[in-house]
Amino acid sequence: MLETYLPIFLLLCVSTAAGGGLYLLSKFLGRKTTDSQYMDTPYECGIEPVGTTKERFPIKFYLIAILFIVFDIEVVFMYPWAVVYRKLALFGFIEMLVFIGILVVGYIYILKRGALKWD
């Protein structure tokens, strides 16, 4: 039973070794700078780590994000369907049309209600 999980265990070992090894390598091989104001910040690329938490995003971002998820999931459903498409033949095709049809109704709806309009 447990041996079936061996690849996962191996993957775990390899990834730990890789991550840890790289870290240790940079520790040993890298140049050691001790006093730099940038080294003490979380992001060394220059982004201010402290800012106001009350920053507001337009709700449209959320809306687009959630709509993206909906249609993204739609595509996810298409993968298994595509794999067995040959076996399902015409029936599978029609079923997928129904499925997409339902989502198209949703798409038309959001389009008409202006959910995708940015202004």
Residues forming contacts to another protein in the complex (CB under 8 A) are 87-91, 102, 105-106, 108-109, 111-113
CB of 59 to another protein, least distance (A): 12
Residue with Cβ nearer another protein (10 or 102)? 102
Contact of 92 with 85, CB cutoff 8 Å: yes
User: Measured between alpha carbons, how far is 2 from 48 in angstroms, rounded to an integer?
Assistant: 48
Q: How far is CA 76 from CA 55, 94, 102, in A?
A: 33, 18, 16
Residue with Cβ nearer another protein (112 or 117)? 112
CB of 44 to another protein, least distance (A): 39
Contact of 81 with 92, CB cutoff 8 Å: yes
CB of 9 to another protein, least distance (A): 22
